[in-house]
Structure 1
Amino acid sequence: MYGGHITDDWDRRTNATYLKVLIKPELLQPNFSLGPGFKSPDPSRFEYEQYKEYIEKKLPIESPQMFGMHPNAEIGYLTQQCETLFSTILDVQGGSSSGGGGKKDDGVMTQLTLLKSTTPADTNLMDVTAKASEKTPDQIVCLQECERMNILLGEIRRSLEDLRLGMTGALNITDQMEALSLSLQFNKVPASWEKFAYFSRKGLAAWFNDLIERTNQLAVWTQEMVTPISLCISYLFNPMSFLTAIMQKTAREQGLPLDDMVLQTNVTAIKGHEEVTVSAETGAYIHGLYLEGAAWELGGQGQEGYLIEQKQKELHPKLPVVNVIAVTAEKKKKIGQYQCPVYVTSMRGPTFVFTANLNMENEDSDPSKWILSGTCLLMSDD
């Protein structure tokens, strides 16, 4: 009904929840509230044509509440619609302008110069490899991240320098240079950069600031080849590799088979990663996750927090620091745990499964009845 078919278990669970909550015998009772301002008619007095006419004339304007959704769902939809509209307008314009392109070229050159001067330096892979003498799983992840970041930074510097030479007349303007120039004008990440980059839907300005933060984390990580006390998981090219490293490290330390290891996520009472002062006793601390479709309530003294309904106008509340540990499948907590996917961006593409405490009266209740059936986590807030 809303743009697709059931393609995975997450779709199936959400669909089953809607069916169990909405499709019930009470629907045929007179004056049953089908939604805000929409009552069920008396079935004994209605035939097919009368039902059709009633729906056409009495159906209220669509709203999130009609579908059991939070009002924030409409805010997100309208925001995305507005961004798509303006993006389409820019694409239709195609960067053309009446008269000469002097002002346009000056703006592109100014931005080009700024990006060139602020592009981080490459990581010296030889030094990093020498420091990683033990070759632990997390050190290997660090090396892989540095290698991929160097490739991206090299492409950024090369393309910006080529465009500068083209705009100054030292080189002929190519299609690739023209595409890069248009991307700089429209605040879009150039396609040649995306080819070597991580998944993201941010505009160029926010994307470049994010790039600098990612390189800063790698700089801290490579200084002594010690994993940061709390790692921003959304700053990695391949977040799953670090999570796999946690399982590998635990399996080696405890002499357990890797195939039997699973991840368990425990949301701590530490709201911001700046408050973390010591490394996790087991596993690792991570941050950089944002909720969609729910919010998080911190627990009291000595208590774990839990998922709650969204707050008005808070579309993507930040999740507290999470302690990710590796345990055997039989020891993983299941009672009172809500299982949801984690997405690299707000587009489809689950990275790993996250579990969190759910605030409910009966821990053994049917999971399909949990209201938060559409909750997911985002690796970043783009």
Structure 2
Amino acid sequence: MKYADTTETIPLVFVLSTGSDPFGAFQKFATEMGMRERVHSISLGQGQGPVAEKMINAAKPKGDWIFLQNCHLAASWMLSLEVIVAYLATETGTPAQGFRLFLSSMPTPKFPVSVLQNSVKVTNEPPKGLKANVKRALIEMEEDFFENHVLGQDWRTMLFGICMFHAIIQERKKFGPLGWNITYEFNNSDRECAMMNLQMFCEDGHMPWDALEYITSLITYGGRVTDMWDQRCLTTILKLFFSPPTLEEGYTYSESGTYYCPRSDKLEDYREYIDSLPSVENPEVFGMHENANIAFETKETVTLIQTIVDVQPRATGGGGGDTPDQIVWRICDQTRARIAKKINKSNINPALMVPDDMGQLHSLTTVLIHETDRFNTLLSLLHYSLNELQKAIKGVVVMSEAFEEVFTAFMNNRVPNMWHKKGYNSLKTLGSWIFDLTLRIDFMEKWLVEGLQPSSWVSGLFFPQGLLTGSLQSYARRYRVPIDALMFDFYPLPMFLSQEDVYKQNTRKKSTVEEQNVYLFLERPEDGINIHGLFIDAGRWDMRANLLVDPFPGQMNPPLPVVWFRPVLALPKPDPRYEAPLYKTSERAGVLSTTGHSTNFVLPVLLPSDQTQSFWIIRGTALLTQITD
């Protein structure tokens, strides 16, 4: 960014939209322009708006430069910023010659459009691809800093490892939830800070690995990470690129041996090695299965198709076919005919309402009642909205904004936001969602009338944790132990069970020929609960070996067999099983709770495997209560 500071036509405002390090680039620019000593900067956030406004007012008569960082974090102050920028263009608000206002922000709809229209826009994003990312890091690195150090080759290997680690964690974002639950904006300043820490700790030639790994994973980079499972992944990845084993000769960063640290005294040799790497990296360098690329490409395709669908006009041409009104009307009729109006709580099995010796209802009965109430609230809204939408289409009532959104959602095969707000977590399209709701209602009615079945469909509940906590509470009351001392142990059973098969059995007409029960040998356990309907993301269950193994190529979300969740007071230590987080949907991110977990998170499930914990952590392996479609 260069300009001649001699003309009055120079814009006063510069907006940096960036995914990289805006302040570092700005400092270099200010130094080149001889303004380094006249720069005032502040990082915006809660309560920083008035401070920034005072800083601008003080700098205007002096002709100083102001740099406001992270404008996207001060959404409530953006209106005030819009007024300030508009005032700069007036005769009374014109500042002294040389005054410039620099703003940095991530892309956000909250940023004032008028400010963008009256400013110079600069976009600076990290280079795409592992090769380009590491190449830029090595180009920006000074030769003396890289080549001359008391540690020699170990020093160069550690610096190269930090560059590779930085590129890996940035590129993992393209894999969506398989890479990170939450998308973090790691930038060049994180990498530079990690290198400065390395230089400070290794000045005397000693390498305190415990301190270096802790500071790099939990402070320098971990300071941005808010999800505890992402933090676990970050720490595990760091050990592959920045730990004592990486200094050994012959160490490679990937199984193929394509990625490694060259052993040379000259920085130029490292740059040449990076130039020789493939432009498109294989998922194996990220420690991921080849299916990760399928997930990435599917996500890109769905986004493109959905964008095309969203911009299509609602009105149809003069050709044949149904009009949008007719299509939506038919969807309303079909949905109302298929979905029950309510779950009748009066049909509850009297045995479920018998209190225990302490006069309390069984814990799982309480869960059943709460879940039934939630479903009835959703069903009431669903039928009300369908009825009102048909009235609006007919012209009996005015089409409100809320029902316009329902109409558009139906046309695009999406579940309306109105239903989502009262419903359960789901990423399914409209047709799949309606069928899924049918299965859930059948599951609830069967539980209500006949009691808990040999295996429970935990995916069919609004709040899956309620069923699991109810099971623990039942055990605690029975054996007189404190519930906070209990936890689950997990026993996968040699049987796959689909809720769709259970639904078919429940709705099948009775015949004189005895048909096989879908539950086969399953019986409701005396302690704990059997769970079915879970899926594996980035893994597969080998029924013969009774182990978690890699999925087959193209197999995205294979089912997990029925699992017995058994309450215990303690688990064996050390436990070699993989601790797999269980999420409600494949979009693992949710509202972050104070525990460091996403609200989409249910609980960790321990699964036996012949691989190390780190193998599955880096693969992003997790369990899901439901798949997208």
TM-score by length of 2: 0.55
Amino acid of the residue matched to residue 109 of structure 1? W
**Using the alignment, how far apart are the partners of 1:86 and 1:253 within structure 2?**
54
Q: Distance in 1 between matches of 2:231 and 2:497?
A: 34
Q: 1:227 aligns with which of 439, 452, 474?
A: 452
Q: Aligned pair in 2 of structure 1 residues 334, 223: CA closer, same or farther (>3 Å)?
A: farther
Between 1 and 2, higher relative CO (CA 8 Å, sep ≥ 6) is seen in: 1
The question of whether the paired residues in 1 share the 8 Å contact of 2:314 and 2:324 is answered with no
Shift of 1:299: 4.3
Which amino acid letter does the alignment assign opposite residue 558 of structure 2?
A: P
Rounded Cα–Cα distance in structure 1 between residues aligned with 2:247 and 2:338: 65
**Displacement after TM superposition at 1:332 (Å):** 5.4
The reply to whether residue 15 of structure 1 matches residue 227 of structure 2 is: no
In structure 1, what is the equivalent of residue 523 of structure 2? 278
Q: Does 1:339 align with 2:587?
A: no
Q: C-alpha displacement at 1:233, in angstroms? A: 0.7
Any idea what SS the aligned residue of 1:38 has?
Answer: coil
Matches within 5 A, 1:73-92: 73-92=292-311
Instruction: Work out which of the residue numbers 103, 117, 121 in structure 1 matches 2:341.
Output: 121
Greater mean alpha carbon deviation, residues 126-135 or residues 165-174: 126-135
What are the within-5 Å matches in structure 2 for residues 346-357 of structure 1?
Answer: 346-347=586-587, 348=589, 349-357=600-608
1:378 correspondence with 2:629: no
Q: CA RMSD in A?
A: 2.6
Rounded to whole Å, the distance in 1 between the matches of 2:484 and 2:578 is 23
Aligned to 2:370: 144
Cα distance in 2 for partners of 1:317, 1:336 equals: 23
Output the CA distance in 2 between the equivalents of 1:69 and 1:231: 32
1:150-196 deviations in whole A, cap 9, x for unaligned? 01011110000011111122222221221111111100000111011
Q: Structure 1 residues 98 and 56 mapped into 2: Cα distance closer, same or farther (>3 Å)? A: farther
**CA shift at 1:206, angstroms?**
0.3
2: CA distance between counterparts of 1:33 and 1:71? Answer: 19
Is the Cα–Cα contact under 8 Å of residues 38 and 60 in structure 1 kept in the other structure? no
Equivalence map 1:59-208=2 (5 Å): 59-93=278-312, 95-98=314-317, 103-128=323-348, 132-134=352-354, 135-208=361-434
Assess, with a 3 A threshold, how the Cα gap between structure 1 residues 118 and 42 changes in structure 2: closer, same or farther. closer
**Aligned equivalents of 1:82, 1:355: Cα separation in 2:** 34
CA drift of 1:17 comes to: 2.0
Q: CA deviation at 1:331?
A: 4.6
Give matches, 1:284-363, under 5 Å. Answer: 284-299=529-544, 305-328=546-569, 330-331=570-571, 335-347=575-587, 348=589, 349-360=600-611
Taking structure 1 as reference, are residues 57 and 334 closer, same or farther at Cα in structure 2, changes over 3 Å only? Answer: closer
| Partner residue, 2:471 | 246
Kept in 2: contact 1:234–1:289 (CA 8 A): yes
Length, aligned pairs only: 369
Aligned residues of 2:541 and 2:560 also touching (Cα < 8 A): yes
CA deviation profile, 1:259-281 (whole Å, cap 9, x unmatched): 21111221111222633542123
CA distance in 2, matches of 1:42, 1:178: 61
**Aligned CA distance change for structure 1 residues 31 and 358 (closer, same or farther; 3 Å):** closer
Which letter maps to 2:531?
I
Counterparts of 1:184 and 1:162 in 2: how far apart (Å)? 14
More moved, 85-94 vs 205-214: 85-94
Is contact 2:580–2:623 with CA below 8 Å preserved after alignment?
A: yes
Paired residue for 1:363?
Answer: none
Distance 2:469 2:261 in 1: 55
Give the greater-gyration-radius structure (CA): 2
Q: Using structure 1 for the length normalisation, give the TM-score.
A: 0.88
For 2:539 and 2:613, locate their aligned partners in 1 and report how far apart those are by CA, in whole Å. Answer: 16
Q: Which amino acid aligns with 2:374?
A: R
Change (3 A) 1:39 1:334: closer
Identity of aligned residues (%): 28
Structure 2 vs 1, CA of residues 106 and 148 (structure 1 numbering), >3 Å: closer, same or farther?
A: same
Query: Contact 1:129–1:143 (CA<8 Å) still a contact in 2?
Result: no
- One-letter code of the match for 1:63? N
Question: What does the per-residue CA deviation read over 1:203-261, in whole Å, with 9 as the maximum and x for residues that have no partner?
Answer: 0000000000000001100113x112111110110000000011101111111111211
One-letter amino acid matched to 2:464:
P
Distance 1:12 1:159 in 2: 42
Question: Which is further off, 70-79 or 16-25?
Answer: 16-25
Residues 290, 379 of structure 1: 8 Å contact kept: yes
Task: From the superposition, tell whether residues 331 and 369 of structure 1 become closer, same or farther in structure 2 (CA, over 3 Å).
Answer: closer
Q: What residue is the counterpart of 1:268 in the other structure?
A: 493
Structure 1 unaligned segments of length 5 or more: list them: 361-366
Structure 2: 5+ residue runs without aligned partners?
A: 1-169, 174-182, 185-223, 355-360, 499-517, 590-599
Give, in angstroms, the shift of residue 120 of structure 1: 1.4
Give the whole-Å Cα distance in 1 for the aligned partners of 2:313 and 2:474: 51
Give the partner amino acid of 1:66.
Answer: V
